[in-house]
Structure 1
Amino acid sequence: MSKLARFHSGFGRLANVEQPLVHVCRLCPKYVPLERRGLPRTRKQIQTLAAKKGGGGKGKGNQKKAGSSIADLLKPKEPWERTEVVMQNLILVENHRRKVGSAILEDIEISEMAKALWEAPFAVLSHDKFENEDPVFTYANKAALDLFEATWDELVGMPSRKSAADEPEAQEDRNQTLEAAAENGVIRNYTAWRQSLKGKRFQIKDATLFNLETPTQKKVGQATTIYHWVFEDGTEGGPAASPPVESTERPSDEEIKRAEESVQEQAALVRALKEEHGLGNDDEEVQENVALLLRRKAKLEALQRRLVAAEAAAAAAESESASAAA
């Protein structure tokens, strides 16, 4: 025992000693020298063995890996990765299901919900009404931050009353909506004027406001989902916005063929990244190429709709001409 510089109790651990290393084990009645177990005896032997196996040592590769791990640990987390945000999202999702009567997002695993809600195409916000006399925003997803022209740190913690114009009429209208939701549990399809942190005004449409309650039925806030918004210049946004008017001109066969080949080429690239390179859906390169694939598919579908519409219009015109001739 006098040779032990440091002692760690526990099964299967190694303790440092001045000369030979010993194996410390609760199941062993004595400290058994490592040479009897065929294990390296000294620190130098351990370093040599580790170097042969590709581990340990002081190689540059290990330094880079260690540095990368430390950098990953020190990297600030995205809002959706924070524990308190995840827990808040779970309350929001459950209350949407109970109050609104539907899932806020379909076919999403609960473990992926925080990220999916953060990346949703519609705006999601919440504030701590019932908990604060002057409620502040407690959550805003990426679409909401873009809409209000703010960062997470700028919007979250800001009094939610500042989302409306600082005018008596605008504030009174907003307060009436909040109180109606507080009493009824949910308000659907409401419309109101709001403003970004940079002063840009927009009208929210197809919005739903609902209360947030804990499993013990304690009211802790309200959340809103916004699917459609219109700026003062008429520009629309959100997944429920009116789609842009597509051209009615018939696309050429060559144009459709090129679009089909483009989709097939991109789909093959995505498959290769997964099957040949072993990348998964969470890898950035896969996500970028899947996004490009979806854009190419959307372009092909738009061309196909134009073709169908053009052929229908041509058939209708031919039928009308035949009727007029008769």
Structure 2
Amino acid sequence: MQKMLAPCAGNHFYRDHVALLIDSYQNLLHRSFLENIGEDTLGRRVFTAEFALLSHNTDPDPVFNYANEKALDLFELNWDELIGMPSRLSVEPENQQARERLMAAVTNNGFVENYTGIRVSKTGRRFRINNAAIWNVHDRHGLYRGQAACFSDWIYL
């Protein structure tokens, strides 16, 4: 996988990828988690938002391919550390099977809402996410591109 540069004005803060995540969310859940954001500012606004947004790709062992600043802060990782990391590593080993069941449910149903689960940061700091939405990401041609998660409710344990 080619290393992706950190989001910046030069790459429009990955506006097209963010739009793909948002469009997939809207198509599956018939609502938006964003209001009134113009396309020209979409990437920057989502990258600096107060909610966490992450996505992973379609590899057999999916790797993160996007995270906004809030997600990076929660996981105590920088862009280069998180992008390309297997998403399963965001969960402690003892919670891997529960995560696999969750991802299978998302794959089968298209999305899961109101998810609550424990995650762990780079330094081992545990936090519980509450009321997360996790959904399948498809492009405008219906091609499966991975999965994404968004949440704005968490507590450090």
TM-score by length of 2: 0.92
1:188 aligned residue (113, 127, 130): 113
Is 2:37 the partner of 1:135?
no
CA distance in 2 between counterparts of 1:222 and 1:231 reads 24
Which residue number corresponds to residue 118 of structure 1? 47
Shift, 1:100, TM fit: 2.1
Task: Could you list the structure 1 runs, at least 4 aligned residues long, displaced by more than 3 angstroms after superposition.
Answer: none
- Percent identity between matched residues is 36
Give 1:80 deviation, angstroms.
4.5
Between the two proteins, the alignment pairs up a number of residues equal to: 152
Alpha-carbon distance between aligned partners in 2 of 1:126 and 1:140, rounded to the nearest angstrom: 7
**Are 1:95 and 2:2 matched, yes or no?**
no
**Structure with higher helix content:** 1
- Name the residue aligned to 1:14: none
Code of the residue aligned with 1:186 in structure 2: it is F
Instruction: Give me the whole-angstrom Cα distance separating, in 2, the residues matched to 1:107 and 1:84.
Output: 18
Distance between the aligned counterparts of 1:80 and 1:207, measured in 2? 26
Letter in 1 for 2:85: M
Give the AA of the match of 2:115. Answer: Y
Equivalent residue of 2:77, what SS? coil
1:162 and 1:212 map into 2 onto residues whose CA distance is 20
* Superposition map of 1:172-321 within 5 A: 172-232=97-157
Aligned to 1:276: none
* Uncovered stretches (5+) of structure 2, i.e. residues with no partner: none
Q: Answer 1 or 2: higher relative contact order, Cα 8 Å, separation at least 6.
A: 2
On the 8 A contact 1:145/1:155 being kept in 2, the answer is: yes
Query: Alpha-carbon deviation of 1:99?
Result: 1.4
Unaligned segments of structure 1, at least 5 residues = 1-76, 233-326
1:192-239 alpha-carbon deviations (Å, 9 max, x no partner): 11100111111110100001001111111000001111111xxxxxxx
Provide the residue aligned with 2:71 in structure 1: 144
**CA offset at residue 103 of structure 1?**
1.9
- Contact 1:80 1:118 (8 Å CA) reproduced: no
Q: How large is the RMSD of aligned CA atoms in angstroms?
A: 1.5
Superposition deviation, residue 86 in structure 1: 2.2
CA–CA distance in 1 between the matches of 2:8 and 2:92?
29
- Highest Rg: 1 or 2? 1
Shift of 1:78: 5.0
Give the match's secondary structure for 1:96. Answer: helix
More strand, by proportion: 2
Give the TM-score of the pair, scaled to structure 1: 0.45
Alpha-carbon distance in 2 for matches of 1:83, 1:231: 32
